[in-house]
A and B are shown apart, each in its own frame.
Chain A
């Protein structure tokens, strides 16, 4: 549910105080500044955790020592402190780029709250929410739920965005693809990076039409672009192409014909750059 003509006016970013989350926050503030959007920070207090803490046998398994008893008051206090730290981090980052921001703490199931909060903006940004004791693990349920269910566009920063590398966009001439292309062009312009369009494997006439549409859309933006037809329309082919191009960001429409609907989570795992799903 982006703004009119797909513009990003309000960015929602899920924050906690992990390093990945802080990196995502940094990117979000940079984007908000570049796109003149306002920023909304969300900290979710995990209701499951609160409930668990109240159970008599609740124990926390830690990397460093033997399991420790979880006390409800301690958990509540920890969550309050984390939320406060997240707010400070958001406000500090936003102030440094003079971006307007708001902050909200929600309590509930994390994935559900994040998906719900996505509706409050045009773009949801999620950092990696990995388990702290298993770094580098796959994306969690929150990212999967957001990718599949969020009503806004979603930017998954499972890896750091690298400025200056090409912005790769999957383009199949659908309205969402056009919106994705427009957003990609804007981001490429901000980063002074070129654009590479991944085109579906189409027959001659159809392919020319897609290419023409893409060229017409991009020429006024004065961004350098390259067209690259894919041999197959699969997540693996898209990921391989992005890897070869050393892409800095992949932008796809949520309904792109380059991917089956259930391939998005797999794509997230195999990409070497952040993924922006446009809705």
Chain B
């Protein structure tokens, strides 16, 4: 066969292959910047992606090569007709078109969406967890980034759901010591609190559940580091929810879920095993409840304030260890209770009446006079430069010294 007799449609083959190389680039353009950044900056994923670009191009080249090879080796004298020639190239070109369609449709569906990248990252993290028993920092940061940049609450919720799965798997892993989730816990708030986006209550609720999952992790844990971080995160998110949502149909419920998470941490049994650290977690929980409660009092969200106070009183009076607690810890706990009571007290007469009704519980539990408890709490806040609360306590002590005026007179 002479070369001039060979009829290979190079023009369409080249066009199709160039198209095939160009399609992923076009798909990249349609991705949101944060998803694209993860693809380009993370070598593992990039390699994976590179394979996905190279593989279709290679298969296109192979298919074309087979076409060219059979064309060259076909024997016109053996009766190879024009129809056979046309069928061969139709098959080759159709295969190339199908490959392009797969790339053009599969790519945006699989990787153009946050969900696709999220799944890849989740798989990578779980693989690492299985191999090394810990979460790869870089991938976790990427997940947080995906959540932070997600535009809709549903997309954020997808990220939060993935984080929840990761938390469950990590906490169930035999190598979990109670100190492996720092990056996740400390950055969780970045997903739900983004200044440029309206906050979503459901997303806040999900963070509370993630933090609860960390709190109820395996009982044989050795450290309380994650637990302490969880308390800080709950406090931060609870206060943020109070600041972000002024009204709505379910705000109180969502903020209650943070208060309930703190309460749950206080119930945790394994903490008894590590008593010394338990004490510090107790004071952290108490401080967090005080922070949420006092902010709620300032925002006149009375239900939240009272719920926080109720939990504080429970921690102080109902923990079986109350009597064994070192004096400085007991002081801290009682200062938080009295501090929040003072905030409530300063809001009005009905609040004063409410506080009066709850004071005997505290008095009974501490076995001291109210003026003494108030004095100690006032000193505690003044010492910690929390003068606003110290002033409210001083005012409350002063009011109590005056003759009590019954409310329903």
Partners in one complex: no
Task: Give me the interface of B with A, judged by CB distance under 8 Å.
Answer: none
Task: Give me the interface of A with B, judged by CB distance under 8 Å.
Answer: none
